[in-house]
Structure 1
Amino acid sequence: MSRFGSVGFLALAAALAAMPLPAAAAPAAESAAVDQAKTILKRSIGFRTVEGQPGQTEAYANYLASVLKDAGYAANDIEVTPVNGTATLVARYPGSDASLKPMLLLGHMDVVEAKAADWERDPFTAVEENGYIFGRGSEDNKFDVSMIVATLASLKREGFKPKRTIILALSGDEETQMATTRLLAQKLKGAELALNGDGGGGLLSAEGTPVYYGLQAGEKTYADFEITVTDPGGHSSAPTSTNAIYRLAKVLDRLGAYHFKPQINELTKASLTAASKQVGGEFGAAMARYAANPADMAAADLISSKPEYVGQIRTTCVATMASAGHALNALPQRASANVNCRIFPGVSIEAVKAELTKVIADDSATVSVIDDPTANDASPLRADVVKAVNKAVHARYPKLEVSPNMSAGATDGLHFRAAGVPTYGVSSLFNRAEDSFSHGLNERVPVNGIAPALAHWRSILKDLGN
């Protein structure tokens, strides 16, 4: 749902900012390719691809399809599929070796709603101003979608012939139900790997120097649980010891005091190790100790004391909404609370439900899963992906550290991982923290990021496509 997707990523990235590197010149890109990419991005912003606007996402998909067709893609290699008011786009770049499984390129065409009255500019009219392109979705996720489409078009015009078939798979409701994502993941689950433009990416300092690039290879599972307590109720003039509100309060108090066991994987080990060197002091030492020995409970507890880091080492569950009672002068017959959990990769939803049931320790309370969340595990750190991403990033910033990371947010990638496709967030966008307004007002991206973004995708696609 965002390029960075978690407070933890930004905190780890900021921790690495102590010794910023000098900015490197952007790799050269043909002016025509840059102009086309900018045009695609600006036109993309003009499609109001929000929930409740039927036809807009399909129209956007058809526009992107037209860009690819103009570059030489066969019409039968491009499929726009309407799905309940939104749409998907699947475009194939045929490879020369049919024995190789395809590589997927992921992104989403939908955006979060934006109210024009709240913005300084019309959120659905791209405005280029002061070195930025403003508009809803400019960062999340139409920048990388535009860069991917422009790169695929450019490679096709040049006659590039990949050995491995490359498949562009764009969803239409990533920001809401992810129904189109699920359809795409099942349709394309036999792929070799997937590269996600809505994950990972680079952080710049306030001065514009590079700080960090995160290669996202894992996401925590998002799941909501409802805890419900019921009671016969009665007249408020005759209180009982089984008051549903009081019982729910006790249940939530127990949950609030509980910590899930600390965990680690190769992604969090790498990011904590890197951050520990820059944070230093007692906290940095705790990061290093925990990365080396996850059984160090003292280190885990110290890391967990910081909200920006706790999500990197544990499953977290927190009450976010509550509802109780039916009349001011009646005892409550029902009290319930929503508990939002961000589950560590590899842990099942049922396991978390069982643990919540044990923690609340009230046989009269029920715990139910809301909707149909999908659990996923982290992807293995493939050497070919790590090498290709390092090459692309170092062409822009030769000495910049590339660190694998796990996001606490949710993107299309979680459904592809759940379907057995190793998925990696490799966004081409570098941005300053103060310029990142994904989901917020006056969302924007830097114009000077377009040329290096095209070089980024070109490098990765040529390396992994062959």
Structure 2
Amino acid sequence: MTSASDRSSRTAHPDTVQQAAAPVLTAQDEVVRICRDLLRIDTSNYGDNEGPGERAAAEYVMGLLQEVGLDPELFESSPGRANVVVRIPGQDPSRPALVLHGHLDVVPAQAADWAVDPFAGEEIDGLLWGRGAVDMKDMDAMILAVVRQMVREGRKPARDVVVAFFADEEAGGTYGARYAVDHRPELFEGATEAVSEVGGFSVEINGHRAYLLQTAEKGLGWLRLVADGRAGHGSQVAHDNAVTHLAAAIARIGQHEWPMVVTPTVDALLRGVSDLTGLAYDPKDPAGVDRLIDALGPASRFVGATIRNTANPTQLSAGYKANVIPGRAEATIDVRFLAGHTTTGMATLRRLAGDKVRIEPIHEDIALEAPFSGHLVDSMVSAVLAEDRDATVLPYALSAGTDNKSLARLGITGYGFAPLQLPADLDFPGMFHGIDERVPVDSLKFGVRVLDRLLRDC
């Protein structure tokens, strides 16, 4: 970058100053700056359409894409809830398109709980800190850096790529991917596959590096439990107490032991872990399955919740005064069902809730399971191994959810692949929605190299 004095000198003496051509920036040169800039934009999503929104980040993304000559579209689902989409023509436009997507919102952060300002985007000891560093402004930055380099160099991806940056993923995607799918489906015309977050990161298994490619994710259910009872004075005998009814239901649901279920994706993962560790694998042996999951280290946080359904009480609300028995009490539960287990899982929840408590949906979405095979999977595996040839790539299921759920409504098969080579001692999964989010700078540079390879061959 030249200084203001340099520019002034050239203006004053055009015949005596000869300037060298500006260096062409690569994705590895840009990715850290882009990620830092995104981290410094507060896009906290508090749910219920509250928060600063994604508009400022979306405008930043628009500028980066327009700067290299692309023509992206920004559209809002609600004031401030902005999405950005651009289509990049591929070498073979007859092939189905690929959607490469990220989300611009983040969960809120309490600054007092952090070692650094969560929105300062500080680089400390080779790591970039900030809310969204792992979920998922790191991947947003990698996508932007790779796309900018590709366009500057005049290269086309192997096929058409729809690049999308969505709002509202952290609250279910109502104002983001779901809105785009329902109101702007033409943007994804011809697309059959998608790549996004929470996969492609490395873990150490018995001294061997493995990358977990996300091929499945559990279903989502945010449900409200409602108990009605007889309101009255707090000093009276209350046989029909809404709080008591609700508390009993919550205790039953929260303490319920869901049976172990090994899905095809988890089965493939555990077989791979067994090969790397030498530990025996029997899908009917819960203790053996737990040992294999423990061998995944920090990644066991994600994987351990994918061998059974889960239902966790998360919110409670009842009453308005100490001496008044309320006539209504409510709670919220976060339910994650395995693919194919929603109907039986809901029947279990209704039984546990009992006849005094009803269940109302707040937000629900489907489980996904995609094959660990095909050209796209082969391309992702090859791209990783080209940068880390002694590694292994294994499929895994995500206990949470992504915007791939919304794209599935258009028949698009989604994968999680945000490639990062990570230090073995970094608790990467533990930082999702946690404090002190940080990502190694070298991991970002590794990621852009892998993504660039993927787009050449996808």
By the TM > 0.5 criterion, same fold? yes
The aligned counterpart of 2:271 is 273
Equivalent position of 2:395 in the other structure: 404
Q: Which string of whole-angstrom CA distances, capped at 9 and with x for unpartnered residues, describes residues 114-170 of structure 1?
A: 355554444333333321222332322122111111111211222223452111011
Find the residue that maps to 1:49 and give its secondary structure: coil
More contact order relative to length (CA 8 Å, sep ≥ 6): 1
* Deviation for aligned residue 1:407: 0.5
Q: 1:167 and 2:162 equivalent?
A: yes
2:334 corresponds to 1:337: no
Segments of structure 1 that go 5 or more residues without pairing to the other structure are 1-29, 291-295
Asked if residue 369 in structure 1 is aligned to residue 365 in structure 2, the reply is no
How many pairs were matched up?
Answer: 414
Counterpart secondary structure, 2:171: coil
- 1:243 matched residue in structure 2: 241
Structure 1 residues 302 and 36, CA, compared in 2 at 3 Å: closer, same or farther? closer
Contact 1:380 1:422 in 2 (8 A): no
What does the per-residue CA deviation read over 1:168-213, in whole Å, with 9 as the maximum and x for residues that have no partner? 01102212341211123342375110011x220323559xx86321
Moved more, 253-262 or 263-272: 253-262
Correspondence for 2:262: 264
- The partner residue of 1:66 within 40, 63, 67 is 63
SS in structure 1 at match of 2:147:
helix
Does structure 2 conserve the Cα–Cα contact (< 8 Å) formed by 1:239 and 1:331? no
Shift of residue 390, structure 1, vs aligned partner: 1.5
Q: 1:310 to 1:216 in 2, by over 3 A?
A: closer
Task: Tell me the C-alpha RMSD between the 2 structures.
Answer: 3.0
Deviations 1:251-303 (A, max 9, x none): 344434534444333211111222345666xxx54xx211xxxxx3xx24875
Distance 2:314 2:347 in 1: 19
Q: Distance in 2 between matches of 1:438 and 1:170?
A: 19
* C-alpha separation in 2, matches of 1:250 and 1:279: 43
Give the gaps of 5 or more residues in structure 2. 1-23, 295-299
Q: Match of 2:364, SS?
A: coil
For 2:65, the aligned partner's letter is L
Q: TM-score, normalised by structure 2?
A: 0.80
Change (3 A) 1:325 1:32: closer
1:181 aligns with 2:159: no
Match of 1:223 in 2: 221
- Report the Cα offset of residue 355 of structure 1: 2.8
CA distance in structure 2 between the partners assigned to 1:119 and 1:234 by the alignment: 44
Whole-angstrom distance in 1 between the partners of 2:266 and 2:99? 25
- Contact 1:377–1:418, Cα closer than 8 Å, also in 2: no
Correspondence 1:312-391 to 2 at 5 A? 312-348=306-342, 351-360=344-353, 362-370=354-362, 372-391=363-382
| Alpha-carbon distance, 1:458 to partner | 1.0
User: 2:67, 2:60 → 1: CA distance?
Assistant: 11
SS at match of 2:119: coil
Q: Distance in 2 between the 1:264 and 1:440 partners?
A: 28
- Report sequence identity in percent: 29
Shift of 1:402: 0.8
- Supply the distance in 2 between the matched residues of 1:59 and 1:316 (Cα, whole angstroms): 36
TM-score normalized by the length of structure 1: 0.79
1:64-463 matches, within 5 Å, as: 64-73=61-70, 75=71, 78-84=72-78, 85-116=80-111, 118-178=113-173, 179-186=175-182, 187=185, 188=188, 190-196=190-196, 198-204=197-203, 211-277=209-275, 285=280, 288-290=281-283, 296=284, 299-300=285-286, 303=289, 311-348=305-342, 351-360=344-353, 362-370=354-362, 372-432=363-423, 433-434=425-426, 436=428, 437-463=431-457
Quick one: distance in 2 between partners of 1:417 and 1:199?
17
CA distance in 2, matches of 1:457, 1:104: 13
Post-superposition Cα deviations, 1:7-44, rounded to whole Å, max 9, x if no partner, equal xxxxxxxxxxxxxxxxxxxxxxx974322222222222
Change over 3 Å in CA distance of 1:301–1:341 after alignment to 2: farther
